[in-house]
């Protein structure tokens, strides 16, 4: 298969929808020789921050000399971003070549059982097969939606189970309470693993603690009280954590200190398990770590920020960063949200900081609210709202409205942020 044929096949797989459970992925991987059983994993779950935590951990491991695979979701700019080794996406040739046996196995499975794997199951199998072929030392793995029934949970006991912040999201699949959602996330915990978590809300923390007891797993909690000499900034942030002095990161957003502390806690536990990273390499990795669409500066004069706040917790954290960094600054929003998100709560947590709001729909995403639908909802609480026909028009409107000292913030679904980032960076150049 070539790259275009692989993409076309993935479009076909989209028709099989979302099917929680491990039966299909187990069958598919068995037909491929169970490559996941030949790999060592760090498994990361959570609602917000898991991508950033993954990036800090994997970049530090790469700097430390380990061949590090990472499997992420969703892609921002290009499909190949889902599958990376040492921060570099799979090549088009390798993706097509690796997809061929996966497709053959999936179609044989469908013919014999009547069950075709979903797109996420096919991608997960491809990731494991490629990482195995490339003999990765370690794979940093991000769950898709939940944990317990997520296709990534087919792996054997990982070295570490890591939990970023858990909050309300995907309630139709994961449950209506924080305890139910946390129970799904905690489903990645397996006997023989160590568990590292940030300090969660009490309902979620209780579930993780109880699951660790049931599985006989040792739990480590990143404690922000151990973070000292914290200095926040848009260009660079600095802190010390336990025995690590003067750690620096370039990822903005006041919550990134918390995410980095969790990553450092995980790296410390990983060192105990035979994957040490020298201090200078750890620092270099944290400093080099970047993650698109996470309170990312994509333009200047006016300052232009892109952030993937797509649920209530993300909106709360975005509002905290806005208050901290941009007090008394005039702010223009570009907002795009999916229909199945807590739209009202996202709006209520962010609208007070905007002078003007431009709504936009994520292109080619059937789950996206139309710009007009979203504008109608926003107008209930904010009078200065305009619906744009496209990301290009939204960026142009925002730049016309903003003076050099103002701030444009594009946020919401990651499925439209990639377009906004590309457009803004092109205009900046």
What whole-number distance in Å separates Cα of residue 13 and Cα of residue 9? 6
Residue 425 banded pLDDT, cuts 50, 70, 90: confident
Q: How far apart are CA 186 and CA 206, in angstroms?
A: 11
Q: What is the pLDDT of residue 198?
A: 95
Res 270: pLDDT: 97
Q: Are 26 and 101 found together in one domain? A: yes
The mean of the pLDDT values for the chain is 93
In a 10 Å sphere around its CB, with 0-12 CB exposed, 13-18 middle and 19+ buried, how is residue 240 labelled?
Answer: middle
State the residue range of the domain holding 82: 3-288
Of 259, 288, 317, the domain-final residue: 288
**Residues 236 and 105 occupy one common structural domain:** yes
Residues 280 and 322 in one domain: no
User: What count of other Cβ atoms lies within 10 Å of the Cβ of residue 65?
Assistant: 11
Mean pLDDT of 100-106: 97
| 212, containing H or E segment | helix 202-215
State the pLDDT at residue 163. Answer: 97
- pLDDT tens by residue, 354-389: 999 999 997 777 888 999 999 999 999 999 999 999
Q: Which pLDDT tens digit goes with each residue over 299-311? A: 999 999 999 888 8
> Computed from CA positions of residues 294, 295, 297, 299, in that sequence, does the dihedral angle turn out positive or negative?
positive
8 Å CB contact between 348 and 381? yes
Same domain, 230 and 341: no
Residues 64 and 155 placed together within one structural domain of the fold: yes
Q: What is the mean pLDDT of residues 79-83?
A: 96
| Contact of 303 with 402, CB cutoff 8 Å | no
d(CA 90, CA 85): 7
Give kind and range of the element (H or E) at residue 229. strand 227-231
pLDDT tens track for 319-360: 999 999 999 999 999 999 988 888 999 999 999 999 999 999
Query: The domain that contains 421 carries what CATH number?
Result: 3.90.190.20
Do 42 and 68 touch, CB atoms closer than 8 A? no
- How many other C-beta atoms lie within 10 A of the C-beta of residue 329? 14
Please state the domain count of the chain: 2
Domain boundary among 265, 288, 311: 288
pLDDT for 169 equals: 66
| pLDDT at res. 293 | 87
Asked if the model's pLDDT at residue 172 lies above 60, the reply is no
User: What does the pLDDT look like over 240-272, one tens digit per residue?
Assistant: 999 999 999 999 999 999 999 999 999 999 999
Q: Any residues with CB less than 8 A from the CB of 114 and at least 6 apart, and which?
A: none
What percent of the chain is modeled with pLDDT above 90?
82
Paired strand residues for 297:
305
Query: What pTM was computed for the model?
Result: 0.92
Q: Cα–Cα distances in Å, from 319 out to 239, 263, 307, 417?
A: 22, 23, 11, 18
Q: Which pLDDT score is estimated for 229? A: 95
pLDDT the model gives residue 429: 65
Pair 283, 318 in one domain: no
Same domain, 279 and 421: no
Which of 256, 272, 288 is where one domain is finished? 288
Least confident interval from 75-79, 163-167, 247-251: 75-79
Same domain, 318 and 361: yes
**CATH classification at residue 108:** 3.40.1190.10
Examine the domain organization and report whether 164 and 84 are in the same domain.
yes
Instruction: Note whether 262 and 307 are same-domain residues.
Output: no
Q: Which residue has the tokens 């377009």?
A: 419
**188, 317: one domain:** no
The DSSP output letter for 165 is B
pLDDT at 142 over 90: yes
pLDDT score recorded for residue 426: 83
Together in a domain, 373 and 227: no
Give me the DSSP letters along 272-305.
HTT----HHHHHHHHHH---TTSSEEEETTTEEE
State the pLDDT at residue 401: 96
Q: What is the pLDDT of residue 16?
A: 84
């Amino acid at each position: 298969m070539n790259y275009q044929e692989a993409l076309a096949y993935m479009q076909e797989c989209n028709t099989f929808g979302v099917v929680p459970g491990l039966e299909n992925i187990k069958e598919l991987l068995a037909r491929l020789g169970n490559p996941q059983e030949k790999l060592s994993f760090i498994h990361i779950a959570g609602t917000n921050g898991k991508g950033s935590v993954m990036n800090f951990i994997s970049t530090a491991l790469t700097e430390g000399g380990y061949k590090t695979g990472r499997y992420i979701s969703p892609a921002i700019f290009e499909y190949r971003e889902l599958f990376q080794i040492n921060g570099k996406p799979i090549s088009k040739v390798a993706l097509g070549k690796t997809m061929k046996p996966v497709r053959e196995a999936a179609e044989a499975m469908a013919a014999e059982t009547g069950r075709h794997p979903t797109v996420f199951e096919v991608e997960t199998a491809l990731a494991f097969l490629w990482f195995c072929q490339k003999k990765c030392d370690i794979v940093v793995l991000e769950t898709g939606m939940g944990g317990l029934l997520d296709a990534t949970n087919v792996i054997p006991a990982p070295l570490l189970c890591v939990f970023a912040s858990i909050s309300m999201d995907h309630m139709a699949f994961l449950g209506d309470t924080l305890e139910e959602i946390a129970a799904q996330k905690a489903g990645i915990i397996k006997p023989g693993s160590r568990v590292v978590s940030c300090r969660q809300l009490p309902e979620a923390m209780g579930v993780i603690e109880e699951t660790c007891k049931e599985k006989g797993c040792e739990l480590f909690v990143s404690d922000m009280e151990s973070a000292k000499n914290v200095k926040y900034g848009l260009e660079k942030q600095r802190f010390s954590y336990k025995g690590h002095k003067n750690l620096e990161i370039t990822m903005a957003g006041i919550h990134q200190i918390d995410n980095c502390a969790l990553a450092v806690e995980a790296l410390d536990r990983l060192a105990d398990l035979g994957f040490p990273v020298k201090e200078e390499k750890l620092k270099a990795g944290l400093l080099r770590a970047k993650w698109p669409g996470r309170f990312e500066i994509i333009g200047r004069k006016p300052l232009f920020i892109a952030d993937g706040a797509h649920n209530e917790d993300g909106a709360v954290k975005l509002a905290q960063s806005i208050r901290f960094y941009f007090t008394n600054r005039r702010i223009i929003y570009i907002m795009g949200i999916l229909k199945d998100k807590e739209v009202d709560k996202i709006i209520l947590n962010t609208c007070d900081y905007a002078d003007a709001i431009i709504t936009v729909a994520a292109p080619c995403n059937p789950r996206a609210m139309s710009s007009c639908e979203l504008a109608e909802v926003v107008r209930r609480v904010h009078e200065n709202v305009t619906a744009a026909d496209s990301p290009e028009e939204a960026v142009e409107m925002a730049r016309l409205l903003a003076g050099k000292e103002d701030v444009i913030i594009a946020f919401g679904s990651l499925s439209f942020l990639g377009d906004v980032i590309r457009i803004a960076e092109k205009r900046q150049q």
